[in-house]
Amino acid sequence: MRTRLVRAGVSGMIANPTITTATGRVYRGDLTFPEQRVILEYQGDVHRPVHRFRADMTRQLDLQADGWTVVYLGPGDLDDHQLVRRVRAILALHTAPPPSPPS
């Protein structure tokens, strides 16, 4: 996923950074865009067991409470020719507009 996004010119991502939330919990994001506070998470089969799914839901809520947007992607998304367009659209939603010049 990272390689595909980089080849398409998507920049600003960091792979697997540590994120500490206000609760003190420490997480790692698969692909994180710190400026936009967006995390792309690849959800493979390891996330299917109930205990893991519940932990992922708690993690998502904790990160969202700190202003992060967590976007889950799965195996089918990697083959989707619209992946880059969708990621760019999500990032655009979370990009602050430039400040207005003083009047």
Better-predicted residue by pLDDT, 84 or 77: 84
* Model pLDDT for residues 1-25, shown as the tens digit of each residue: 888 899 999 999 999 999 999 999 9
Phi, psi of 64 (to 5 degrees): -65, -35
Percent of the chain scored above 90 by pLDDT?
55
The pTM is what?
Answer: 0.81
Please determine, for residue 100, whether its predicted confidence score (pLDDT) is greater than 80: no
pLDDT of residue 22: 92
Write out the H or E segment, with its range, that includes residue 75.
Answer: helix 75-78
Domain boundaries, the chain: 2-81
CATH topology of domain 2-81: Endonuclease; Chain A (3.40.960)
d(C-alpha 21, C-alpha 60), whole Å: 11
